[in-house]
A and B are shown apart, each in its own frame.
Chain A
Amino acid sequence: MLSQVPPPTAAGPVTGTSPEYVRISMASAITLRVRSGRFSRDFAPGGINLLLSYDEGCLSDCGYCGLARARVASPEVRSFIRVEWPLVRTDELVERIVRFEPALTRICISMVTHGHAYRDTCDIARRISARARVPISVLVAPPALNRERLENLRSIGVDMIGIGLDAVTEELFADIRTNVPAGGLKWQRYWDAVTGAREVFGPWKVNVHIVVGLGETDEDLLALFVALRDRQISSYLFCFNPEPGTRMAARPKPSLRRWRRVQLARQLIETEGYGLKRFGFDRDRGLARVRAGRPAIETVVADAKAFMTNGCPGGKGEPGCTRPFGSYRPGEPFRDYPFAPQASDLEEIRQSLRLEGLLE
């Protein structure tokens, strides 16, 4: 998701543009042993997240995004909450993907808004698919897309498409992505990409990235989950985290309780078939009630998939994209778990949810 991608810093090669270079997430860098490091909890991260790199950066200017053109922050501030994304030579990356292929579950290439993004994404995807069988997703930049290009991505070997809608209403989208200093992104263009991708890639092969906490209501969120589910399109949740130096730096992140309840609602809608009428909202359109028996809800909570990272699956249907600590610091409570939550995690989840206040 472009909005949750941290900015590059000066570490590693200072410059290097795609397709010859690509940035990789720090978790991916550790997995591929580009960088030393480890994870707070013992699990096997198999998802590799890539980000196109250009001297000009991303040409969009979204109010919450670390890649925004108008963002003002010193390098130290930029790397404080989010971490560096190391820059690597694409050919070296491919060699490492081949070397560690048995441990890898999914590769995701994130475009940015740039004139060469589509061309370079195809180039990088081709280099990977020529050497490895790890499934490839692309998080597309809708301004650079049309149906022919989507079909071409599929022919290259890309099997899933993500669209970073991020803001869930047209008004909110306009406020933070369109009508901004160097904005211009179009709501309708994003939905055209969703529709085109659904037609080309098929059911449950398309996902829409949604950032919780940008100013939307819970009812807005749940209505979108239902609409996407009805089109057999997945909703992938990301928790807003204020980026220093962005226009939304002072906005607090959503409370853990709200976040957990939204995670639960998404699961109830997408996998349990709940409709909007199963939910009740307060006067601020916040989620206030779930019309269901406690045992049914407890079963979903105990299963815990609702609270795991939303991401494209691996080749065998296992969690593929895990992006550990993607929108929070490792010292903070997990917002989404990159592994199956353990008993102690479930205890935290239940405390955060406060189900007694949600069920009728």
Chain B
Amino acid sequence: MGALMGQPARARVAGFELALDRRYQPETHMWVLPSGPARARIGMDPLGIETSGTLAQLSFVPIGTELTAGSPFGQLEAAKFVGPLISPVSGAVLAVNDAVVRDPGLAERDPYGAGWMIEAGVTEAGVTQARRTDDSRGDVTGARAGLLADPAEISAWFAAKVADYRLKGVIAQ
């Protein structure tokens, strides 16, 4: 992703590892990373995972399902919490990670890698254009989702969220 050239791929922010080679949907903690021509991998960042509690089950919609940015592509169930997994982009589901379905702990242990959740058919341009400040609501590839792309902006958002979650008492201390 050209916008990130020269940036370190990972940073440590407020005690959490933060990957800076991808884009984030700030309300849902979902990340998007192009994984091939016209496809992107989607997962949840470690802060989203951590504050959900110990994961018990992940389930995803079937391959082929057409997603709209902001619509659910699955469900996360943790020890005391259940909630939808919200797609940060629009596009068809091309693959689901069966390994993380079998072992949800993968998403806890390796949220940026082996713990990815689905792949969707979306162009890199579509992801790149899906900027938080972009209000072009007609863009089917994710503009509505308002993705963060700038590493400095991502880091600031992430640090603020950690502080907020600590205040709310959902992070162990």
Residues of A within 8 A of B (CB): 11, 26-27, 30, 33-40, 79-80, 83-84, 324-325, 329-331
Contact = CB atoms under 8 A, between A and B. Distances in A.
Given A33-B169, A38-B170, A329-B56, A83 B80 contact: yes
A37 B56 contact: no
Contacts of A33: 169, 171-173
12 contacts: A26-B54, A27-B80, A33-B169, A33-B171, A36-B170, A37-B51, A37-B54, A37-B80, A39-B80, A40-B80, A40-B82, A329-B82
B54 A38 contact: no
Interface stretch (B25-33, B71-79, B110-118): B71-79
B52 interface: yes
A329 B56 CA distance: 9
Nearest to A338: B80
A40 B50 CA distance: 15
Contacts of B170: 30, 36-38
B62 interface: no
Nearest to B78: A37
A34 B83 CA distance: 22
The 7 closest A-B pairs by CB, nearest first: A37-B53, A83-B79, A330-B82, A331-B82, A26-B79, A36-B172, A33-B173
Q: Tell me what chain A mostly uses at the interface: helix, strand, loop, or mixed.
A: loop
Interface residues of B, number: 20
B78 A330 contact: yes
Contacts of A324: 80
A79 B78 CA distance: 11
Contact of B54 (A39, A40, A83, A329): A83
A37 B52 CA distance: 5
Nearest to A41: B81
Contact of B171 (A36, A84, A329): A36
